[in-house]
Chain A
Amino acid sequence: MKISVRGIEFAYGDRQALSNADLEVEPGEVLALLGPNGCGKTTLLRHIAGVLSPSLGTVYLDLDELSTLGARELARRLAVVEQDRRAEFDFTSQQLVEMGRLPHMARMARLSARDRRAVVRAMELTGVREFADRPVSQLSGGERQRVFLAMALAQEPDALLLDEPTAHLDIHHQLDFLGLVRARAGDGITVVMALHDVNMAAAFADRLALMRDGTVITCGSPAQVLSPDTVRDAFDVDCVMGRNPATGSVYVHFVPSAAPSAREGRVVVIGGGGAAAPLLPILARRHHVTLGVVAPLDTDYEVACQLGIPVITEAPFAPVSDGPLDRLREELQRADRVLIAPLWVGPGNLAVLSMVFCTVAPKDVVLVDSPGVEKRDFTGGEATRLLQDVLQRGAVSMTQQEVAGR
Chain B
Amino acid sequence: MRARLLLLLLSAATVLTLFGGISVGPVRIGFADAMAALFAPQAGDMHATIIHGLRLPRVLLGYLVGLSLALSGAVLQGVFRNALASPYVLGIASGASAGAAVTIALGLTAFIPLPLGAFIGGTAAVGLVYLVARPAGGAPDRLGLILAGVALGTAFAAVTSFIMFVTAGDRKLAEILFWTMGSLGRASWAHIWTLFPVVLISGVAMWSMSRELNALSLGDEGAFSLGIRPEKLKLLLLLLTTVLTATAVAFAGTIGFVGLITPHAMRIVLGPDHRRLLPASALTGGIFLVWADAAARTVLRPAELPLGILTALIGAPFFLFLLRRRRGGVLQ
Contacts and interface: CB of A to CB of B under 8 A. Distances in A.
Contacts, number: 82
Interface in B181-231: 208-209, 211-212, 214-215, 217-219, 221-222, 224-229
Given A71-B227, A76-B227, A92 B221 contact: no
A78 interface: yes
Nearest to B267: A89
A89 B225 contact: no
B53 interface: no
A99 B228 CA distance: 11
Contact of B217 (A70, A89, A102, A155): A89
Contacts of A71: 224, 227-229
A26 to B, nearest CB: 22
B59 interface: no
Contacts of B225: 49, 75, 78-80, 152
Given A92-B271, A108-B208, A74 B227 contact: yes
Contact of B226 (A51, A86, A89, A99): A99
B272 interface: yes
A50 B211 CA distance: 22
Interface residues of B, number: 24
Interface in A241-292: none
A85 B271 contact: no
Contacts of A74: 227
Nearest to B274: A89
B221 A51 contact: yes
A162 B82 CA distance: 27
Contact of B273 (A73, A85, A95): A95
A99 B208 contact: no
Nearest to B222: A85
B52 interface: no
A107 B229 contact: no
Contacts of B271: 89-92, 95
A167 interface: no
A91 B81 CA distance: 13
A152 B221 CA distance: 13
Interface of A: 46, 49-51, 70-76, 78-80, 82, 85-92, 95, 99-100, 102-103, 105, 107-108, 152, 155
Given A49-B224, A82-B221, A103-B226, 13 more contacts: A46-B221, A51-B221, A71-B229, A80-B222, A87-B217, A87-B218, A87-B272, A89-B217, A89-B272, A91-B273, A95-B271, A102-B215, A102-B228
Interface of B: 81-83, 208-209, 211-212, 214-215, 217-219, 221-222, 224-229, 267, 271-273
Closest 8 CB pairs of A and B: A75-B227, A89-B272, A103-B227, A72-B227, A88-B81, A80-B225, A88-B217, A102-B226
